[in-house]
Chain A
Amino acid sequence: MPRQEAKEYRQVTEVDEVAADLEALGLGSEEIAALRQQGFVTGEVRVGRVIYKLRFRLQGRQRVRYLGTDADKADCVERLIQTLQRGRRIKKQLRDLNHDLTEKLGETKRRLEPFLDRAGLKFHGMAIRNPRGRNATIAQPTIMQKEI
């Protein structure tokens, strides 16, 4: 398949569609790339009316785009930005979860180790084992013969 045709067959992702919608609002590709990283919609009360603005940073400087007073339009832009930042948001959530996992597994060991020790058991990595030559005392002799 020629390269041009292959390009045409490329799957149009949701992010591409969002980028197209934002372009329709007058945002350039550089600005959309910046919005992928950071950016949000604010509502500010001016003379009894709420006006909406899109705020983001481009090349280290804050940029503000006036969105008008239409709450539905502001909501729509907010949703578009959330979709655009979806990948980045998920990556951050996964990073946070991986950090929490390391902490929780450590806490599990710290909390259970004294009890396991008294019961004649030990953590081997994250597995719970009955060291050779010792009898587990928490239950029937056979209870901890196998690795948990």
Chain B
Amino acid sequence: MEEEQQVTEATQAVENSPESSDSAVAREQRIADYVTQSLEVGDPFEANVGVVNADLMLLALRYRQVLGDALEQPPENLAELAEIMPSVDSYVRLVKQVDRISQLAMKLKAANASP
């Protein structure tokens, strides 16, 4: 009985945990830091790549939040799922672009760091 109560309390603690909103705030802060760091870079190409990438990351974070809300409850029917799927595809496309720009950013950084 006591064990059951502990499990219930633990479950409630997880459900009431503000971790998800804290995590979103922390992510937004890291993206803002990325923008600040990018703007301090001397090479305009590398700086622009950083800023553009940060913008895309912020958009990806918003997608993730809204899609998370949308998929929190199972869709009532296939038509409702079909309405969400194009946005899931868009999110995947966006993440792919963040990956491409991140690779470019890393290569630029390495190139600018080498003598």
Beta-carbon nearest neighbor of A147 in chain B: B100
Chain A residues within 8 Å of B104, by CB: 128, 148
Beta-carbon nearest neighbor of B48 in chain A: A111
Q: A40: CB under 8 A from chain B? A: no
Contacting residues of chain B (76-115) with chain A, CB-CB under 8 angstroms: 76, 80, 83-84, 86-87, 90, 93-94, 96-97, 100-101, 103-104, 107-108, 110-111, 114
Q: A33: CB under 8 A from chain B? A: no
- Complex formed: what's the CA distance from A138 to B105 in Å? 11
Q: For A128, give its contact among B44, B67, B100, B111 (CB under 8 Å).
A: B100
**B84 pairs with A108, CB closer than 8 A:** no
**A108 pairs with B90, CB closer than 8 A:** no
The interface of chain B, by Cβ under 8 A from chain A, is 44-45, 48-49, 52, 55-56, 59, 62-63, 66-67, 69-70, 73-74, 76, 80, 83-84, 86-87, 90, 93-94, 96-97, 100-101, 103-104, 107-108, 110-111, 114
Chain A residues within 8 Å of B67, by CB: 94
Q: A115: CB under 8 A from chain B? A: yes
Residues 127-148 of A, flagged 1 when their CB comes within 8 A of B and 0 if not, give 1100000000011100110001
Interface secondary structure of A, over-half rule: helix
Chain A residues within 8 Å of B101, by CB: 108
Chain A residues within 8 Å of B90, by CB: 97-98, 101
